[in-house]
Amino acid sequence: ENVVIPGEAEKLRVRIRRRRTSADAYWPAAREDCTGCSLWWGAAVLAREALRAPEVFRGRRVIELGAGCGLLGIVMARLARSTLLTDASEAVLENCEHNLRVNEHIWRSEGYEPHREVRTQLLRWEDVVSSGPWPMEERAEIVLSSDTLYGEWGETLAQAMLNVVVPGGLALLCFAADCAIDFDSFRSRMEDAGYRMVLSRRRWSIGPYCEQAGADFILCECRREVFGRPGLHILERGDVMVYALQSKRRTQAPHDRWLRQKGLKKPPGMGAPACLWWPQASRLAVAPSVDNTESA
């Protein structure tokens, strides 16, 4: 499947092999946890924002936590000097490496272009947290993640980011606005570490075939201020007010709604992708925005 990522100066057409998040998510062969083999569109939103600010990533080291299909990682590989794509699943990493090879023409250095290094690594956030901060020479100036804020992983994700980013570096997170599960824990840990959070709403029009079509996404930028001024950053200002509102009900996930519309039933024993649920989650008060994006 081709995904077009629009930027200020260029558009990238990335070819992605993925397991679709609607019907395909219930293939009998996919009973193991292959959530990362699906294409979660927060990666496309964050990739588009990166292409609009290429100077922030150029010549820097980048680490992605939860690389999934590798869409965001491929864009990072084109922009950054060194890119490390990590995930906790071997099956997901194999698919990510396949997509890297298919799209090598996008990130491969040619002629007088600076050398670009791209690596993949099997990595569990719990291991990153338990092992403590990485050696300074292994850390990155920018750490990012997309559609990974689910379950009770907020604080663990935040601590993993802090352990792999250089002091004063930039942390970027993108997630669907109605899937802000455990965002309070993530925010608290980042603020305790001295990071200021700037949030902005984005929309990605991806057509009616996807559960997240027309969904609102939140781009979360965690940055440190240097002498009263922001350090590395891609957002000039935020437009999202965050407040805690405990949900008393469990909303219907988009993929369940899709199954109901098709008259299908979920196979016994098949759980829903965790990132599509938000019971007892913080909600986001979002300012109105204009849908000015392109379809993939």
C-alpha triplet 215, 217, 223: angle, nearest 5°:
175
The CA distance from 224 to 233, in Å, is 9
The CA distance from 177 to 189, in Å, is 20
The CA distance from 54 to 36, in Å, is 26
Pairing of strands 225-226, 229-230: antiparallel
C-alpha 212: how far from its chain's center? Answer: 14
pTM confidence score: 0.77
The CA distance from 17 to 67, in Å, is 14
Q: Are 116 and 107 in contact (CB under 8 A)?
A: yes
Q: Residue 4: its pLDDT value, please?
A: 79
Average pLDDT score over residue span 210-238: 77
Residue 246: pLDDT above 50? no
Give the ranges where 103-244 is alpha helix by DSSP (H): 104-107, 125-131, 154-164, 183-192
Average pLDDT score over residue span 123-140: 96
Q: Looking at per-residue confidence, does 110 or 161 come out higher?
A: 161
Q: Where are the domains of the chain?
A: 2-226+233-286
Question: Nearest 5°: phi and psi at 114?
Answer: -65, 150
Residue-wise pLDDT for 1-14, tens only, equals: 778 787 766 788 89
Average pLDDT score over residue span 152-161: 94
Fold entry, domain 2-226+233-286: Rossmann fold (3.40.50)
The CA distance from 23 to 27, in Å, is 7
